[in-house]
Chains A and B, each alone.
Chain A
């Protein structure tokens, strides 16, 4: 019998789930270049996320609030533990740290404009504070990073809060690299390095190691800023219970917890996809750490990593967070990966929605670039307006859900408002699997 005989039914070609086309393409790319893939953004793999949770809404046992009539408060105060001037925000959605250097000056300005118009804060990044950013941000959080690029006490005192960055969700335990092609004269000057060379951002701070040192570092920062402004500590999602507890022990006013879906300007793909936890798995352990220390709501918790909608905001808050931060979503609102640039994405070998070579500085949308011609494509006023609109919509969405659950403040959302669609999400969020009163690991359940 000849298997190639057309009269015999043929076995269909079967693609390997293990050696899939994307995997094989990466093997061939690595074999051809000898270097790992570097890209921007966060984890693209599917992980348990807020989509795997549902709100239960009101029923006989709970009554809802009238959607267009009864108030549902959204305000949040961050930094109530030690700071003389805590940050008061109108909405619990903040803009995460993104550097000038990684982003164009226009993009940074747009973030400041949009956040300020929506009544929230934005955050500097690994490159210091620019006058445009300070000028357009009503509330500006100043990141204190291992590289200390552009760090100086004057900017420190100009900030409304300080965020000591220990790590980030896209690369917990890793540093960063701003490649030479994005090092313009201005970026080079701000970072005290020659133009055109790759700029390494260190993975750990140069003058402290461990939580005991961090406590002393925070003391120094407070002494320099007169105990006026809140001090946040940002960690990537890896060991959320212990990291949160240690940040509190070190004296943080606010803990910022970033899951693996959180973006980066540039890191190895293998790092982004294989290190760290989804944010869904981080929130409950962090909240438990705060509760165990009697610090829940006393030390505020900001969570980030894949926040896209008002539903995500509401779910994060229901699990115990005080606020969320958005990065990638804010860039999309500004115009990143917009279909209007599809022909140019194709010239770069990619397509709308998949463009992630943010480190190369050739962003058609003018956001992740230092090329003056590309950067000029982004109108900071118009882009800021889009961000404002997006933040408003997210807030309205979160309020809609909160009212339906009977709450007059977003912070009154609680785990009991939620159920999970999957076993994994039930275990991570510690809310019942839909239709049951059980989740894996529930105390007393025997599992």
Chain B
């Protein structure tokens, strides 16, 4: 395993080194020591490498990730895995606001809780939160799946497009145009697969599904009160 110690090396050194790893490299396993809440750790990666960050990170850890697996042993600051394209990001602790924002692909697993706006404007990413999520999560979510094993805060799925939301616990309130939907066999299968990939021991049947009512897809003045 290769080691980069942020106590002695710069953030620039870290990202240059990790971004330089190509598909054929033998150095596929990396660890980052002493992150100490630094921002933009392991951003813009584009190789099937495994990076373990030993500690907690600041903003935008694993931002725009492609292919790589990034594992944070502590908690993550705002915007973890923002705009992720592919790969996997695992947070052992909690995640702050905007986790997985605008993500287009890949899997984000948060083993603790996620704060507000988790999955905001998500565009294809899969997010599995083992704890609870904060308010306005999946706001304007376009595509992908958000799985919440705990409870969801206020205004879940506000102004939702086509993202699918699965919640096992309570939902404090649903946002504009977000409704509970029937859990059909294909949804159970999607959920089963996501739980398995995230290593979560839970039954899909315990979850409820939420999605867009599609009433606000085309502007109509009679819906103005909904905004």
Min C-beta distance of A299 to chain B, whole Å: 22
Chain B residues near A373: list those with CB within 8 A.
none
> Which A residue sits closest to B162, measured CB to CB?
A194
Q: Are A202 and B83 in contact (CB under 8 A)?
A: no
> Which A residue sits closest to B61, measured CB to CB?
A220
Q: Are A207 and B79 in contact (CB under 8 A)?
A: yes
Chain A residues near B117: list those with CB within 8 A.
206
Min C-beta distance of B49 to chain A, whole Å: 16
Chain B residues near A147: list those with CB within 8 A.
121
Q: Are B221 and A148 in contact (CB under 8 A)?
A: no
Q: Are A180 and B218 in contact (CB under 8 A)?
A: yes
Instruction: Assess whether B210 is interfacial by the CB under 8 Å rule.
Output: no
Most buried by B among A156, A193, A213, A223: A223
The contact of A192 among B16, B19, B124, B139, by CB within 8 Å, is B124
Instruction: Assess whether B173 is interfacial by the CB under 8 Å rule.
Output: no
Instruction: Assess whether A242 is interfacial by the CB under 8 Å rule.
Output: no
Q: Are A153 and B66 in contact (CB under 8 A)?
A: yes
Q: Are B221 and A207 in contact (CB under 8 A)?
A: no
Q: Are A192 and B79 in contact (CB under 8 A)?
A: no
> From DSSP, what is the main secondary structure of chain A's interface residues?
loop
Chain B residues near A202: list those with CB within 8 A.
121, 140
Instruction: Assess whether B167 is interfacial by the CB under 8 Å rule.
Output: no
Min C-beta distance of A29 to chain B, whole Å: 13
Q: Which A residues from 177 to 212 make CB contacts under 8 A with B?
A: 177, 179-180, 191-194, 196-198, 200, 202, 206-208
Instruction: Assess whether A151 is interfacial by the CB under 8 Å rule.
Output: yes
The contact of B101 among A152, A177, A207, A226, by CB within 8 Å, is A207
CB 8 Å contact bits of B127-156 with A (1 = contact, 0 = none) = 000000000000110110000000000000
Q: Which B residues from 35 to 90 make CB contacts under 8 A with A?
A: 39-40, 43-44, 46, 58-60, 63-64, 66, 78-79, 82-83, 85
Chain B residues near A180: list those with CB within 8 A.
217-218
The contact of A153 among B85, B139, B140, by CB within 8 Å, is B85
Min C-beta distance of A224 to chain B, whole Å: 3
Q: Are B58 and A198 in contact (CB under 8 A)?
A: no
Q: Are B39 and A216 in contact (CB under 8 A)?
A: yes
CB 8 Å contact bits of B174-196 with A (1 = contact, 0 = none) = 00000000000000000000000
Min C-beta distance of A251 to chain B, whole Å: 12
Instruction: Assess whether B115 is interfacial by the CB under 8 Å rule.
Output: no
CB 8 Å contact bits of A205-241 with B (1 = contact, 0 = none) = 0111000010011011001111100000000000000
Q: Are A152 and B104 in contact (CB under 8 A)?
A: yes
Chain A residues near B63: list those with CB within 8 A.
220, 224
Instruction: Assess whether A35 is interfacial by the CB under 8 Å rule.
Output: yes
The contact of B78 among A194, A198, A207, A226, by CB within 8 Å, is A207
A217-B59 Cα distance, complex, nearest whole Å:
8
- Given known contacts A34-B221, A198-B219, A219-B40, is B83 in contact with A151 (CB within 8 Å)? yes
Chain B residues near A177: list those with CB within 8 A.
219
Chain B residues near A151: list those with CB within 8 A.
83, 102
Q: Are B124 and A216 in contact (CB under 8 A)?
A: no
Instruction: Assess whether B4 is interfacial by the CB under 8 Å rule.
Output: no
Q: Are B39 and A148 in contact (CB under 8 A)?
A: no
Chain B residues near A193: list those with CB within 8 A.
142, 161-162
Min C-beta distance of B36 to chain A, whole Å: 15
A401-B102 Cα distance, complex, nearest whole Å:
48
Min C-beta distance of B224 to chain A, whole Å: 9
A220-B43 Cα distance, complex, nearest whole Å:
7
Chain B residues near A35: list those with CB within 8 A.
219, 221
> From DSSP, what is the main secondary structure of chain B's interface residues?
loop
Chain B residues near A192: list those with CB within 8 A.
104, 123-124, 142-143
Instruction: Assess whether B113 is interfacial by the CB under 8 Å rule.
Output: no
Chain B residues near A200: list those with CB within 8 A.
140, 159
Q: Are A153 and B104 in contact (CB under 8 A)?
A: no
Min C-beta distance of B98 to chain A, whole Å: 4
Instruction: Assess whether B15 is interfacial by the CB under 8 Å rule.
Output: yes
Chain B residues near A206: list those with CB within 8 A.
98, 101-102, 117, 120-121, 139-140
A220-B84 Cα distance, complex, nearest whole Å:
13
Q: Are A219 and B39 in contact (CB under 8 A)?
A: yes
Chain B residues near A198: list those with CB within 8 A.
217-219
Q: Which B residues from 5 to 51 make CB contacts under 8 A with A?
A: 11-12, 15-16, 19, 39-40, 43-44, 46
Min C-beta distance of A345 to chain B, whole Å: 25
A148-B104 Cα distance, complex, nearest whole Å:
10
- Given known contacts A153-B66, A200-B140, A207-B102, is B60 in contact with A220 (CB within 8 Å)? yes
- Given known contacts A34-B221, A193-B161, A207-B102, is B123 in contact with A153 (CB within 8 Å)? no
Min C-beta distance of A235 to chain B, whole Å: 21
Chain A residues near B43: list those with CB within 8 A.
220, 223-224
Min C-beta distance of B94 to chain A, whole Å: 17
Chain A residues near B120: list those with CB within 8 A.
206-207
Q: Are B59 and A213 in contact (CB under 8 A)?
A: yes
Most buried by A among B66, B159, B161: B161
Chain A residues near B123: list those with CB within 8 A.
148, 192
Q: Are B124 and A224 in contact (CB under 8 A)?
A: no
> Which A residue sits closest to B139, measured CB to CB?
A206
CB 8 Å contact bits of B89-102 with A (1 = contact, 0 = none) = 00000000110011
Chain A residues near B66: list those with CB within 8 A.
153
A192-B46 Cα distance, complex, nearest whole Å:
22
A-B contact pairs, 17 of them (CB 8 A): A35-B221, A153-B66, A180-B218, A192-B104, A193-B142, A193-B162, A194-B161, A200-B159, A206-B98, A206-B139, A207-B79, A207-B120, A216-B39, A217-B59, A220-B40, A220-B60, A226-B16
Known: A148-B121, A152-B104, A192-B143. 20 other contacts (CB 8 A): A33-B221, A35-B219, A35-B221, A152-B64, A153-B83, A177-B219, A180-B217, A191-B142, A192-B104, A198-B218, A207-B101, A213-B78, A216-B58, A220-B40, A220-B43, A220-B59, A220-B60, A224-B15, A224-B64, A226-B19
8 tightest A-B CB contacts, nearest first:
A224-B44, A197-B217, A207-B79, A207-B98, A153-B64, A207-B101, A148-B102, A220-B40
